[in-house]
Chain A
Amino acid sequence: MKIRKLNRGFPAIRIILAFLLLILCVYPVFYVFMSSVKTTADFQQQKPYELPSEITFANYQKIIEQGRILTYFRNSIIITLFTVIFILLLSSLAGFGLSKLEFKGNRFLRGYFNLGLMLPIQVSLIPLFYIFSKIGLLDTYPAVIIPQVAFGLAFSIQLFYSFYKFLPNDVIESGIIDGCTPMQVFRKIVVPMSQNTFLTVATMQGVFCWNEFITTYTMTKSVGMKTVTLGLNDFVGTMGLTDWGATFAMIILTILPTLILYFFTNKHMVSGIAAGSVKG
């Protein structure tokens, strides 16, 4: 008991440490927002850490007048949505199959999919770029979605696998005895029970995909196919000519969706990860 009291004796240090970490993690976003509402004059004359002397939304106006932001959002939404749907579909089925079905080669297949955790997507971009250009798929949604789905599988299968491994067999058996086909058991019993895992995988892959850079950069050419992440470079010129005000406004607009999504799903995510982490 004595030691416990001693440990509680330094709340000040803990609070300071907590705040320092908080500044480190949150300040850049605050800084970007503050800079995005600065006037050009403030931006050039003030020190970087100073707050704006007056607030202007000229930078946001500039982005809207440029007119591409809606295209970027549309592309990002379509690509993220399809990537996440395909990943969820394929990896939940495979995760369930690998954890609950007994067959020869199960172990081998798990190792096989595990390879995906070790391989860099950039390696595959070399052949995929060539093949997609030959079959006229470059600069289309599938060219961006397909590689991301394939490379997202390994990680997602593993999360589903470790969750389903601890799903009681009785649940599935009772479904089969009631006359359901295996697919019905999966759809009507297993999927509702693993909502948290679905949410975890969807959030993580969704954020990865929304922020993805190199696949989209490699596979798209036209402005009409760019995503929000690539659009961030629209106001970046060569050496020093970057329009930072507009760039910062763009950053704020593009991270808003991920921040909002994250704040809503955060709780489920921690429990989703916890469900698979220690046991798996």
Chain B
Amino acid sequence: MTRTLNKPSVIMMFILPAFITFTLIVIVSIIWVFCVSFLNWNGMTDGSFAGLENYRQLFFEDSNYWEIVGNTFLYTVYELIWQVLGGLLVAIFLTRIRRGRAILQTLYYIPVVISTVAICQIFTKFFSVTPPGMINSLLGLINEDWYYLEWLSNPNMSLEVAAFAEGYKYFGLYMVIFYAALISIPQELEEAARIDGASVLTQILRIKLPYIKPVIISNLIIVLNGSMRSFDVSYLLTKGGPANTSQLLTPYMYKQAFNSLRYGYGSAVAITIVILCVLLGVVLQKIVIRDDKED
């Protein structure tokens, strides 16, 4: 049987369509971007070779760049808290409920199926100052001064609000994954612990969490990587502002290439994102694989 299955023609038939599509669109375009990052080019007229000029400007002259790198890392930390920790806590909470968990799990997932564009419009309305939006109207009931709190236009808050909007949209996705993992823990494990007199907290910390550790790690990696290249919320909700206080790397790259028509410069930003994402991803996966072997 192995001979029939492992013939090169069979392997090609299964793998080649995906391989060609993936290579042509994803890999070739990354290589293309790498080459363009050494050009001074606006995307229309002939470009000229600029060597490392784009990178030199980016690293040493663009005062925004490092601020945006910092924002992106901070944003990633917020997302890890909202999505991974939040999703995990809600999933654990769900398993502690006896009745109605299926319906609750379904309803908690709703923000995931709403488009980011819609979420951002809703949040724009909720956090609006003039006229006072939902949040300020409610806060105003408690304290008159809170009626005029600024959120999206507040340089100290815009990144946090954007991070919250993104966390709000996606935490349900990780909740479902954690929940699916938690309910697949063998009953005997739980019962044994219960008979031994382990408290609920001990059961969770000593038995459940270690059991679903692979899921926790894979979610950590997905969220970490997803947040490093987060785009929609920052682009749509806060538009990176005020100033660059909620600007992230990917929207910055996009604006450089498409709005400022600096294709070469935008490509240089893009390459730094690719390197960051791939490095993070590969390093994390290496750690996980080594960890697995130790177990």
Chain A interfacial positions (CB closer than 8 Å to B)? 3-4, 7, 14, 17-18, 21-22, 24-26, 28-29, 31-32, 47-49, 86, 89-91, 93-94, 96-98, 100-103, 109, 112-120, 122-130, 146-147, 149-151, 153-154, 157, 172-173, 176-177, 182-183, 186, 207, 210-211, 213-214, 218, 229-230, 232-233, 236, 240, 244, 247, 251, 254-255, 258-259, 262-263, 266-267, 269-271, 273-274, 277-278, 280
Contact = CB atoms under 8 A, between A and B. Distances in A.
B115 A277 contact: no
Contacts of B183: 274
Centre residue among A211, A230, A259, A267 by max chain B CB count within 10 A = A211
Interface string B97-108: 100101011111
Given A101-B11, A127-B28, A251-B118, 19 more contacts: A18-B104, A21-B93, A48-B126, A90-B17, A101-B15, A113-B18, A115-B27, A120-B273, A126-B253, A126-B266, A130-B263, A146-B21, A213-B232, A214-B235, A214-B254, A232-B118, A255-B113, A273-B176, A278-B214
Q: Is the interface of B mostly helix, strand, loop or mixed?
A: helix
Contacts of A262: 106, 109-110, 113
A151 B226 CA distance: 13
Interface of B: 1-2, 4-6, 8, 10-11, 13-15, 17-19, 21-22, 24-30, 32-33, 36, 43, 90, 93, 96-97, 100, 102, 104-119, 121-122, 125-126, 130, 132-134, 137-138, 168, 172, 176-177, 179-181, 183-184, 194, 197, 199-200, 211-212, 214-215, 218, 222, 225, 229, 231-232, 235-236, 250-251, 253-254, 257-258, 263, 266-267, 270, 273-274, 277-278, 280-281, 285
21 contacts: A25-B107, A29-B114, A48-B137, A86-B21, A90-B18, A93-B14, A94-B17, A97-B11, A98-B15, A101-B6, A115-B27, A123-B33, A124-B33, A147-B25, A149-B25, A211-B113, A218-B258, A233-B117, A244-B125, A277-B215, A278-B214
A118 B125 contact: no
B26 A115 contact: yes
Contacts of B281: 114, 117-118
Contacts of A109: 15, 19
Contact of B1 (A18, A28, A128, A173): A173
Contacts of A147: 25
A112 B18 CA distance: 11
Contacts of B29: 123-124, 126-128
Please report whether the interface of chain A is mostly helix, strand, loop or mixed according to DSSP: helix
Contact of B15 (A97, A129, A218): A97
A127 B137 CA distance: 46
The 9 A-B pairs at the shortest CB distance, nearest first, are namely A97-B14, A211-B115, A150-B25, A120-B229, A274-B180, A94-B18, A118-B281, A124-B29, A127-B32
Contacts of B270: 122-123, 126
A278 B119 CA distance: 31
